[in-house]
Amino acid sequence: MAALIRGPLRRLPELMADDTTDKPASPSAPPPPDSAGELIPVNIEDEMRRSYLDYSMSVIVGRALPDVRDGLKPVHRRVLYAMNDLGNLHNRAYKKSARVVGDVIGKYHPHGDSSVYDAMVRLAQEWSLRYLLVDGQGNFGSVDGDSPAAMRYTEVRMERLAEDLLADIDKETVDFGPNYDDSLEEPLVLPSKFPNLLVNGSSGIAVGMTTNIPPHNMTEVISGTLHLIDNPGCTVRDLMEFITGPDFPTGAIITGREGIVRAYETGRGQVTIRARSDIETSKRGDREAIIFSEIPYQVNKARLIEKIAELVREKKLEGISDIRDESDRQGMRIVIELKRDAIAQVVLNNLYAMTSLETTFGAVMLAIDGGQPRTLNLKEMLDRFIAHRRDVVTRRTRYELRKALARMHIVEGLLVAQDLIDLVVSLIRASKDPDEARWGLMNILSPALYEHERFATLQRIDYDKAKAQMELLVSRARNEEPSYAGLAHKYEGAGFSEGQAQNILEMRLQRLTGLQREELFRELIGLVRDIARLQDILANERSLLNVIKTELVEIRERYGDKRRTEITGAVDEMTSEDLIAEETMVVTLSHTGYIKRSPLTEYRAQKRGGRGKTGAATKEDDFVSKLFVASTHAYLMPITTKGKLYSLKVHQVPQASRTSRGKAMVNLVQFGEGERLAQVLVTRDFPENRYVFFVTKRGVVKRTDLSAFENVRSSGIIALGIDDGDELVAVMITDGSKDILLSTASGMSIRFPETEVRSMGRQAYGVKGITLEDGDEVVGADVVETDAAILTVTENGYGKRTQEAEYRQQGRGGKGIIDIKTTERNGKVVGLLQVKESDEVMIVTNGGMLIRMRVKEISVIGRNTQGVRLIALENEQEKVMAISKLPESDESEENGEAVAPAEGVVPTAEASAPEATDAAAPADATAEAAAPAEAAVESPPASEEGGTPGGEEPTQG
């Protein structure tokens, strides 16, 4: 008992399958009572089991679940049948809702009036039903969740489509059963000319089970049904060529077909629905607004708008300045006005993610089939409907055939009576009462007629003449309809049947005219043809199916319409990136491992030699060591001193002001033991035929396919092998056909084609790129393109721009040529960048100062020179630590306007601080390529090719 009480819903199928009728009586079963007042002991567990099972089946079969044949629950069936009984048809006057509800609860539905009225109201709501079954007049609620007016105020009548659900119900097409008090009979199912269960769907919660069937398009459903009739062996996928998916009354958009396929094939599936939206621009062009014209099925519009407003007030949803509901009789229109700086697609994605503008419809195709609840797939549902229509059409045909045969019998009798009209009239006049007249007609051809005292004086008929007239009539009928078998009553025999005799007695005298005789003959021929047609339907399976198909086509032509719900391809699962506006960010990393991002718009372009802006408030022992500019949607891939690569998105880096310190990198990426950040790779995507080019402090270079880094584990992957004491100083993305330029701290540089470095596996160590003098090290590298310039910057804030043509191509592994003079004034080289006239660069110092300047303001001078001042340093301890090129923009930066998001990789050049040169342990993975190879070309001596002397204004060094 305890188990039953704790989990009756869970055990319902077990209880339903538990048949106790064939079991021997329980020892505790009570004996039959001897008298009405005797107390009967009952086992409470047995009683609860029996009572709960009865209740469950009553709810499942009698209230909550629709019948698979007509798609209606009992309450809806009773409402429509009561309206039909009242003559409340689509072409008649409206009747008060209270009148209909009263009939339903008084005759058929032993429940409350409110439940009946609510059920009837839903049949009249255009946002609830795809095809309305009740035509309502008055307030029937709204999509905002407003309640309908009381039943005493509203009026209803049937829609024409509902009449097609009840068509032929008076022709013995369906079974009837007693109502709740056995005083009347009600239909157990409606004839239903169309698959209403699929067309209008259904939802309900029973005991231990639920149903949720989506509505569909009438045209598609009937087309699919016709296809199944013609091709009984077709599959669900075949039917989906016709029935593409649910079609909701509120329209909207279904994203993806996977859930539809699963629902149609298994009876259960999840369908994702999105509101239909458009983005409009204001007349001034400075603002945008998101317009929603359709919302998902069963979403309350008023609550939806309240939810959006609540999210805006709580600042969980940003970028919205106003919300308006401009819906009217013309349709729905929800207006979301955006702020000037808001990005419409980002706001829209947030709305989909945080509100019911995107919902899922959990399809459960559960219905009553053969008196039992069953989960059915699409084909099974249509099969059950077709079987139902076969039964209905067969029963209707038998009924019509029986009526046609009976009527033909009467018409034949009337035609014979007209041939014997004189005798018939005389016989009737001679009769004492109708019963005697009826007897006389039933014996009009018998000699016993003339033995009756009242009929003895009647004139005898000429049988031969009358028979000849009848044969003439039969011959004429056969000429028009060869299937006519002749009259049922010839002139031999007793006379008319009782039915014929009664009909003759009731015949008006006007039927004796010649015109009426011809009409009777035409009716006889029509009846003969109808009988032949009806007999063919009963005898021929194909004829029966053709009748079903014809009626389905008529319904499709009368009620079919276009889809309201659009079905699109699957939308990728929304990620955090879809909810974040794409902006260009300046990302800085400090020597001690702090990282932050700030909008590029915070850094105004300044003249060459300016003081710059404070970029970060750092501790005395910390300074900015790396800087790059990238989109919030770009990948940021830190590479450690051990050659391991990790991955995160730029938007995952905490945004902070220019002066803040940022967040420790170890809180964003879990470096392995002994690992420290060496370099950062930035990319938007991972296209084919692109390579990652690595350069180490000791001049080792390596090239690896970019696609090898697309899938990065949270624990990181090996990017390259690094020797003890070496360190990664530069990483860039190339197309495999460019030249590479390396720069050293002492001012040397080498240019060689990247094709001299073959593509290697991730764990390979690489090959020699440049031969270094003692104490020298590589500090930067970049890709070189034709007609570009090379910007070189030194630690004391000086730099120069030199045309790339002055850097002649050499063989990989050489000593290179002089790039810039590293005098006491200049200090060591920090890095180099390939730049164009329209570019802008950023320079950062170890004191946290940053300056943004235009490349065109930097003088173009020779290679072997000292350069000009780029940034004014505070004191001798302040040094330039890094330089970075900003992404190109079509807009002017005079006023600090936003820059377009970066595409691809933003190359960076950083200086390694003296404190960051500790030896790193070699990578622990086995190399995929050979150990670093020595250069095949002997290192040439450094070239002293001339150039314009450097200075504040170019002077001789």
Active-site residue list: 153
Distance CA 912, CA 730 (A): 10
Q: How many CB atoms lie within 10 A of CB 733?
A: 20
Two tokens at 382?
Answer: 């249509």
Q: Distances in Å between the alpha carbon of 687 and those of 630, 684, 693?
A: 18, 9, 15
CA distances 156 to 83, 100, 140, 187, Å, are 9, 8, 10, 22
Report how far residue 213's alpha carbon sits from residue 191's, in angstroms, rounded to the nearest whole number.
Answer: 20
Instruction: Please report which helix (H) or strand (E) contains residue 835, including its range.
Output: strand 829-835
Phi, psi for 407 (deg, rounded to 5): -70, -40
CA distance to 254, 276, 571, per residue, from 568 (Å) = 6, 12, 8
> Are 748 and 829 a contacting pair, CB within 8 Å?
no
Q: For residue 827, give the 3-state DSSP assignment.
A: coil
Which 3 state secondary structure label does DSSP give 88?
Answer: coil
How many C-beta atoms lie closer than 10 Å to residue 3's C-beta? 10
Going by the DSSP 8-state scheme, the letter that residue 697 receives in this structure is: T
DSSP 767-824: EE--PPPTT--EEEEEEE-TT-EEEEEETTSEEEEEEGGGS-B--TTS--EE-B---T
Rounded Cα distance between 522 and 481, Å, is 11
In terms of DSSP bridges, do strands 134-137 and 155-158 run parallel, antiparallel, or are they unpaired?
antiparallel
Question: End-to-end distance of the chain based on CA atoms, in angstroms?
Answer: 103
| Residue bearing tokens 């309809």 | 481
Q: Write the CB contacts of 555 (distance below 8 Å, at least 6 apart in sequence).
A: 164, 193, 194, 218, 222
Please list the residues that pair with 817 across neighbouring strands. Answer: 749, 943
CA distance 913 to 876: 15
Would you say 906 and 682 are in contact if contact means Cβ atoms under 8 Å apart? yes
Burial environment of residue 358 by CB neighbours within 10 A (0 to 12, 13 to 18, 19 or more): buried
- Location of structure tokens 């039909």: 84
Alpha helices in 127-195 (DSSP H): 160-166
Cα–Cα separations (whole angstroms), residue 495 to 434, 466, 491, 492, 852: 16, 13, 8, 8, 120
Cα separations (Å) of 437 from 421, 430, 505, 851, 893?
A: 14, 8, 8, 124, 115
Note whether 943 and 775 are within 8 A (CB).
no
Give residues with Cβ within 8 angstroms of 662, minimum separation 6: 588, 590, 594, 595, 596, 616, 654, 656
Regarding beta strands 566-568 and 253-255, do their DSSP bridges make them parallel or antiparallel, or are they unpaired?
A: parallel
In order, the DSSP letters of 624-686 are EEEEEEEETTSEEEEEETTSEE--EEGGGSPB--TTS--EEGGGTS-PPTT--EEEEEEES--
Q: How many CB atoms lie within 10 A of CB 151?
A: 23
Nearest-Å Rg of the Cα atoms of the chain is 46
Q: Select from 159, 160, 156, 162 the least CA-distant residue to 97.
A: 156
User: In this structure, which amino acid lies at residue 249?
Assistant: P
**Helices 97-107 & 74-85 angle (0-180, nearest 10):** 110
